[in-house]
Amino acid sequence: MLEDKIDILQVFKGGSLSSTKLINHPKFNKCILKKVSNNLNREYGFVRFCSQIKRHSYLQNLEPELFPRILEIGIDIQNENAFCIYEYMDEYMSVFDFLNCNKISEAKLNQAALNLLISLAKLHKHEYKSPIIKGSLDFYLKEEMIRPLIKYEKYLDTANKTFEDIEVKNCAYTISKIHNLYEQIDKTLHHKYCMIHGNATLENILINPKSLAISFIDVYDETYCDIGLSDYSQILQCSKYYYGIRMRMEKKEEYESKYKLMEASNNFKIFNKVIENNLLLSKEQETLLNLLTASQFIRLLPFRIESNDISNAVYFYSLASWILSKIND
């Protein structure tokens, strides 16, 4: 059994039914061990786990300096677990934790944001030779936005609710808004079809706080089609709309009605300003980016509601409604 031969140094927050630990391995020394059951919840655990390994391996082969190496994978038959051992990025931390630190100079924040953009540009330069698959955006929006809104509408009471003093619209209105925005977008132009991270939250992007070098972890195909803008939408989810800060709140008001955007330090604001100012998007690209960013909150609804986290579900829906309200249709 693998864990009989190792020392566990630190346990990290897991995701997708997997566990993540920093270990001292007899062969690899310090490394990251990720495990998941290959028996229980296979679709959401083991299958996703395997997909991540395959995608990570492919992207690491394309851009080796941007991804930690995969050292070994295997199956622990006795304990019914699959495992993957990754290179440990010593001295690195998540970009979210980096921004949560105090006393970061503006120059350092600017360079960190630019380094992230440069790193994504290296990844996105690997463009597909074929055009984006017809129907890809429609497929994503219907599955990740419209389906959750229809299925979970009864949990999303929007009566008398506002977000930043803007009325929170009901699900029927939001679905109509999504359809209207989608019809405005040229489905064949301006959407870079390329290699992407696919799950580019600030917790899945590592940074060395001294050198400001970037490394990507926990890649996954969250958007079904590899559109470069989808990576930026997941960054903005946290850098502009503070998803990570909300999820770290110990106490959440169960019956909020006048929502406000979370408070964040200037680190987040300076960092996000550099990101947005350097994207240089056309009006149509900006519309799609905002639509994709709203989708990142709506697609959270099944996970939050199924875990009985209704307060966050309604907050995230209200935030998505606010983002969509700012897009002219």
CA distance linking residue 120 with residue 116, whole number of Å: 6
Per CATH, the number for 2-87 is 3.30.200.20
Q: What three-state secondary structure class fits 156?
A: coil
Query: Domain 93-325 falls in which CATH fold?
Result: Aminoglycoside 3'-phosphotransferase; Chain: A, domain 2 (3.90.1200)
pLDDT at 252: 63
What are the pLDDT tens digits along the chain (329 aa)?
566 668 888 998 766 577 899 999 999 999 999 999 998 888 888 998 999 999 999 999 999 999 999 999 999 998 899 999 999 999 999 999 999 988 899 999 999 999 999 999 999 999 998 888 888 889 999 999 999 999 999 999 999 999 999 999 999 999 999 999 988 887 655 567 899 999 999 999 999 999 999 999 999 887 788 999 999 999 999 999 999 999 988 766 656 789 999 999 999 999 999 999 999 888 888 999 999 999 999 999 999 999 999 999 999 999 999 999 999 86
pLDDT value of position 289: 94
Residue 80 DSSP class: T
pLDDT of the residue at 223: 77
Name residues whose C-beta falls within 8 Å of residue 318's C-beta, 6 or more positions apart in sequence.
Answer: 158, 161, 163, 168, 259
**End-to-end Cα separation, the chain, in angstroms:** 58
Structure tokens at 22: 């920093």
Predicted pLDDT of residue 15: 62
Instruction: Give the pLDDT score at 102.
Output: 81
| pLDDT at res. 45 | 87
pLDDT of residue 109: 98
pLDDT of residue 205: 98
Q: What is the pLDDT of residue 44?
A: 80
Q: Residue 274 in contact with residue 109, Cβ under 8 Å?
A: yes
Question: Residue 117 to residues 36, 161, 179, 233, 277: CA-CA distances in angstroms?
Answer: 32, 36, 30, 13, 11
Give the relative orientation of helices 266-277 and 228-239 as an angle to the nearest 10 degrees. 160
Radius of gyration of the chain (CA): 20
- Contacts for 290 with CB less than 8 Å, ≥ 6 apart: 323, 324, 326, 327
Domain residue limits, the chain: 2-87, 93-325
What pLDDT shows up at residue 14? 62
